[in-house]
Structure 1
Amino acid sequence: MKFSNIVFSCVGALLVSHASLQAAGESGAVILTEQGVKNLGIETVTVEESDFEDSAFALGRIETIPGSTGAVSSRISGRLVELPVSPGDTVSKDQVVAQVESRQPGDPPPVIPLRAPVGGLVMHSDARLGDPVEPDKALLEIADLSKVYAVARVPDYQAGLLKPGAKARIRIPALGEKVFEGELLRFGTAADAENGTIDAFFHMPNPEGTLRPSMRAEFTIVKSMRAGVLSVPKESLQGNPANRHVYVKHAKLPNAFDKVIVQTGATSNDRVEIVDGLLPGDEVVTRGSYSLGFAGGGGGVSLKEALDAAHGHKHNEDGSEMSAEQAAAAKAGGGDDGHDHGAGKGSSSLREKFFMATTALLFLLLVLTSIFRKGGKNENSDFA
């Protein structure tokens, strides 16, 4: 093979390699070191088609069901002489909850027992021993909390999308992470014009009695269910509503992630439908996606700067945590880094070094080619 052919083959290979790296950068790819991936805590999930809930989030409260409460009162006037229960106690139906001494003459005066009209929780009492008792005054309020209403304040524009029987997952912040199931019964009789919401009443069983009136509730209301929908976790999405993107693990380059523009559809509680931009099998970054936005933001942003912005404290150039000595030295010297510049760089530095090296090598090859061609011409002239 002629020397000139060898030269041009090397030049072509270098240009292809440089073009591939340059294309990766121009397409929004972020190229990290292996240590950089580890330090950013990058995690990915494989995109696949699955069942997708089109759901809505709402806030609300717990209420007692009308008709499930009862009041304890006396049919005669008298004086309260016994009160064996207090608010918070659980009573059964027909249990004696108070004794009233009649004002009718007698020695002793007759005592009338008062019984609970319903079983449940004693919610309220204003009575004290010795208080006068009148028929028009209730002594106790009792509520049956075996079933309750969970009332969601649903935006009125979504009310038309919900039908009786719709399901909801309901979380009560006061009770931790436990999730309850509710079923939509009906809507309120009037909307809240000021807030643009309407009450939606969900029936909830409460066998353990842990749900209490006025507790705050968080609702994930399922509007519809579709099969075979491509979706990603919410934390994968970056950008503004008009320009959403995700980071996808590069198919060939190690520790590289492509910035991919996507078109989104419906939103569920923790996932977002992807209408266009991704294919099943793509590995999408979840944890660390926000930090990749800094690393790939352009303008020579390094891995160190990405980690500094993401974690709120200083790192070394290779992304490792600063030791106490390095932090003290950086503070004393007024510098930002741990003086560990020999470690791995970000994608911008890698491309710059590659470009400089290939440029120098190309120049050398072109000089050698020129010399070789001149030598060839001189040899031909000697033979002429």
Structure 2
Amino acid sequence: MFLHYSELTRFCPAGTVSHMARRIFEQHFRNSTQCNLIYSLCLHANPWHKIILACIILISAPLIIFVSRHSVSLPPQTSDTDWGKQGILFPLSGTLDYVQDTQLVWQAPSSPKAVLFIAHGCHGSATHFWDKSHNCAECIGLPEERVIVMNALSRDYAVIAISSTRECWNLATDKDKVLSTLSHWIKERGYSELPVLALGASSGGYFISALAKAYKFNAIVIMISEGFFQIMEVDEHYPSTLFVHMVKDKRRASLIKDAMEALRTKGVNASEVKCYPLAVTPHYFTKIPGLDALTSEKAHQALKDAGVLDKDNYMMADGRSMNWMVPLRWRHVLPEDHYNLWDMHMRELLNLAFGYHEMTSIPSKKIFDWLDRHLYISKAVDMADSDRTNPP
């Protein structure tokens, strides 16, 4: 994404580019237009012009470095992305458990008002929603997942996440296991009289949409997924449904619009929350537990200098297609043993910032306000009368 020193020296004499000039090219030219201009000059200039160009670089270097170091940086985003102002950032302590061979993690307040079942996306796990603790040594607390759980607990919801059998949810292998595990846990905890809600993201969203025909959920949230409504028949007893999706994924947004119309035609309450790309501000990565403000600022600057972020701090492309870890390692932003530790955490936040397909806690207030309003108004079908077959 940016012109490296090694690329420059292929066309300019190595002796004419000093260490100071190297710092300029690798750290202080922050957009591809500037880099491409210099690249073109070096490529087409004669030897004398190359020497003159190198002299200009050396003379201007101190001024460029001074200005870059003393330029005004944007303050951290406020509103929903100002993590500290949410007022609910606290360590989580989930309990890892197994019902037969099905993995689950749960946490509950002393007097819950409802149960929330969460289904992760592909390559996810129940252990992604809670911080590592003595009750869950396998938990890793991914940024978005853990904040969703925090919001649920702050609303007095008992929260349970169950892991899929394989990398993604599969109705044939997971449906009955989840029904059995969820029912067993609710009965064991004494929550049989409480409303039961569900939230699923991506693969988990598809799974929840089908599971809602086989379980008496009071309301469901389907995130970054349109569900199975194109191939699945529902009636007026289907639970109220909230779709949370990212507008950059236009195809999915169109499918969700169709799904909402289909549900409303059947008399089912259907709503949506739209999510947009986020600016990666200097303090953006402090959402990762244990990553301090200074480290976040260094990570932000490394990504900005590498061309991963544009002038307004938005992602230039989907992080899944960019090797954004390279500039972090090159700048030694993290201790060496932390790159693997926080790789999934940073990857998730950059996917979230790009705003195409990622679990998100940003609209948590809207999500849980909506769930609170639908705790007791659903006309969900009883399990005895439910369809336990896979959608066609």
TM-score by length of 2: 0.21
TM-score by length of 1: 0.21
Structure number having the greater helix percentage: 2
